[in-house]
A and B are shown apart, each in its own frame.
Chain A
């Protein structure tokens, strides 16, 4: 997907699904910790539904595909079918370090990364991403929250907080 279409898609989704976006989760070989964190989103503390997100068991009702796991090759056909069954416009969110290519290399058993099979629009790092990180990722996916990581340098000043680093 070209960046322009992705941007248009995001605007369409922000307009059309502002307060009602249905999520289908897809486990492509994850260890289930990502699923635990996703499940916590519906708990009262995080309360995903207040933001207009809902989980749906059917890809035909879904607007957003939340993919976890390293995309094992045995699941490739099912993943493509799930994606094809979703009505457009649709967003694919890769969730967790496995889905982003961090944990498993590409080998005869896994693709190692979700975007080898599906066109990913939003990447959520973390192993697992906390519910807060998932909420932020969903907000980025619908264009409600800004992407912060682009400007983060991941460097720290040399002198301060020495004790924190040593702990």
Chain B
């Protein structure tokens, strides 16, 4: 305690910046999925859309539309198609416009 007090007086710093060092708990957070476009056929995409409980996924012809804002990171898509979906590891997702949270992921260019 005394050490901190003296150190604070010497440095003139009473607070630390946003994160002063990487947070060890961040690695175990459930994070939104990341998709492998090479594995995403239309059939796989339709299965992912069907299991998504929050309506975060939608197929727009040859594109999988992924709404990060609607995603609850439940992991059902990763369970449904583990070869095509992995965890993104991203959690700092704050956005200043709703539209930047909607991602368009191209499908593989062939029928299932």
Binding site for B on A (CB under 8 A): 3, 6, 10, 50-51, 97, 100-103, 105, 115, 120-127, 129-130, 132-133, 135-137, 139-141, 144-145, 147-150, 152-158, 161-162, 164-167
B66/A154 in contact, CB under 8 A:
yes
Count of inter-chain pairs, beta carbons less than 8 A: 158
Q: Which residues of A contact B88 (CB under 8 A)?
A: 152, 154, 156
**Known contacts A149-B95, A154-B34, A155-B36: does B16 contact A125 (CB below 8 Å)?**
no
- Chain A proximity of B81: nearest CB distance (Å): 9
B94/A154 in contact, CB under 8 A:
no
**Known contacts A154-B32, A161-B86: does B72 contact A127 (CB below 8 Å)?**
yes
- Chain B proximity of A151: nearest CB distance (Å): 9
- Chain A proximity of B108: nearest CB distance (Å): 10
Q: Which residues of A contact B72 (CB under 8 A)?
A: 97, 102-103, 127
Q: In the complex, what residue of chain A is closest to B94 when comparing beta carbons?
A: A137
Q: Which residues of A contact B10 (CB under 8 A)?
A: none
Q: 15 A-B Cβ contacts within 8 A?
A: A97-B70, A102-B67, A115-B98, A125-B94, A129-B93, A130-B91, A132-B26, A132-B92, A144-B18, A145-B18, A145-B92, A152-B88, A154-B35, A155-B36, A162-B83
Q: In the complex, what residue of chain A is closest to B39 when comparing beta carbons?
A: A158
The distance in angstroms between the C-alpha atoms of A164 and B78, with both chains bound, is: 10
If A133-B93, A150-B95, A166-B82 are given as contacts, then 4 extra A-B residue pairs at C-beta distance below 8 Å, sorted by A number, are A101-B69, A133-B94, A140-B95, A154-B35
Interface residues of B in 64-91 (CB under 8 A from A): 66-74, 78, 82-88, 90-91
A157/B36 in contact, CB under 8 A:
yes
- Chain A proximity of B100: nearest CB distance (Å): 4
Q: Which residues of B contact A102 (CB under 8 A)?
A: 54-56, 67, 69-72
A132/B86 in contact, CB under 8 A:
no
A158/B82 in contact, CB under 8 A:
no
The distance in angstroms between the C-alpha atoms of A158 and B98, with both chains bound, is: 28
A122/B93 in contact, CB under 8 A:
no
The distance in angstroms between the C-alpha atoms of A127 and B56, with both chains bound, is: 12
Q: Which residues of B contact A148 (CB under 8 A)?
A: 90, 92-93
Q: Which residues of B contact A167 (CB under 8 A)?
A: 82
Interface residues of B in 27-65 (CB under 8 A from A): 29, 32-39, 54-56
The distance in angstroms between the C-alpha atoms of A167 and B37, with both chains bound, is: 19
